[in-house]
Amino acid sequence: MEHKQWWPETLRNEVRTLEPFPRRMVLAGLLPGAIGLVAVGIALLLLMLPKRQQILYWSDTALQQTTAGDNLTSSLAAGSTLERPASRLLTDQLTVVGAPVWRPTGQDWVTTVWDEDQTKVALYRRGAEQPTLISSSVGGGIAVGADSWSPSGSHLALIERDPTQLLITLLNMETNSATPFDIPLNTHAGISWEPTRSALLVTTGATFDVTPTLKLLSPSGNVGNYEPDDGMRMRADGVFSPNGERVAYIASENYSVAQQILLHGQLWIADADGSNPQALVTAGMNFAPQWSADGTTVYFTRQSAGQYELRRIAIGDDQNERVGSSTLLMQSHPFDRHLWFAFAPNEAYLAHVGQDNGQLNVSVVPMDADEEISFPQRNCNTNQIVTLSWASTSRGVLINCANGNTRLVWVNDSLPAVRFPTGLYPVWQP
């Protein structure tokens, strides 16, 4: 059959005869592209669907796991809650005595349990029916903190107790090998992983007559001293910057009886190799330094007249400023600081626990504004514990009080808070 077409380049309506249109050849050429477009569309659709995450928390008897969709805006706006039928029991025999801690990869988690009259670490691996129980190598108790995982998830810091002191063991998750260190830990200072090479910065000095010092532990068993040339006698509570290039720490010329009760001093920074030490804050009883997510600012807690303030100072500035209230939990529970102080995954917000007039509260500070958003906790006093956990989308924070009251609050949406099933220490999957 002949196909006829009017050609526009001619001024007269002239009919020309064409070859038959090659339908099959054109369709064969377009088919791979069409299949590719469909595949891309499906992939984009899956990315836009609500992410189903796991939330771990204590129940009345054991550890529970709940599935929740973080992006269910319409359901939440209508007043729906996270459904308890989605929960499943992880263990009905082990008594959980510590907050569950997700591996940074989001695949496995650990928690501290009570078994055979002592604490042990329970390691839950994906696909395993039962957890692996890890006992103390020194015959005492063993536990994990919220800060125990290395950033890559390749190593886990285990806190062990013998009859008189705290010790630390580094567990290699890839080889299942353990490296114990016979170095007494200071019970008022935190631990900090070097971001790029899985080395751990710790504070030593477990007794009142031993001045705290900073040491760097390697999974291979090597121990190095972190000693900047700052003229200070005491150095404690060191924490790496997000890129691993600097360390913020607390230092003082002496070590007094008051510091044995509340480990405090001046706020310093230095390069990761100890060079270029610089005093940031020299006045006040300062402790628990924490870096901002972009590494440009150091946050710290100050005790003044029985009150605890969260303050910050930008690198290069002379003056520090008050951010809000802080809490003694930053020192009384130094291995769990990410439960009371945490930046959102998108780094746009900081959530922190504070205490005012004997009551605990949670505040969220937008990084692009000076005003913070406060979420007071009803009937939650300083004899209890408040924890927080960010959703991976940075839209909401899970807030829990030790009285079992848990709710999900939204920081950038005008949505009502969502009540969560009664439990303790809920932590969102990364």
Q: Where do the domains of the chain lie?
A: 56-90+340-430
Q: Please give the pLDDT value at position 90.
A: 67
Q: What is the pLDDT of residues 83-130, one digit of tens each?
A: 443 456 666 667 777 888 999 988 889 988 888 888 889 898 877 878
Band of the pLDDT at 392, cuts 50, 70, 90? confident
Instruction: Indicate left, alpha or beta for 365 from its phi (over 0: left) and psi (-120 to 50: alpha).
Output: beta
Report how far apart, in Å, the C-alpha atoms of 131 and of each of 15, 125, 407, 430 are: 82, 7, 28, 20
The angle formed by the CA atoms of residues 71, 73 and 75, to the nearest 5 degrees, is: 115
**325-338 b/e (C-beta count within 10 Å ≥ 16 → b):** bbbebbbebbbbbb
Digit-coded pLDDT (tens) for 305-331? 889 999 999 999 999 999 999 998 898
**What is the token pair recorded at 429?**
């999957």
Query: What letter would DSSP give residue 85?
Result: G
How far is residue 202's CA from residue 179's CA, in Å, rounded to a whole number?
15
Q: Which three-class secondary structure state does DSSP give residue 144?
A: coil
pTM for this prediction:
0.82
- Span 195-243, pLDDT tens digits: 988 899 999 986 777 899 999 999 999 999 999 999 999 999 999 999 9
In the chain, the N- to C-terminal Cα span, in Å, equals: 64
User: Which is it for the CA torsion 177, 181, 186, 187, positive or negative?
Assistant: positive
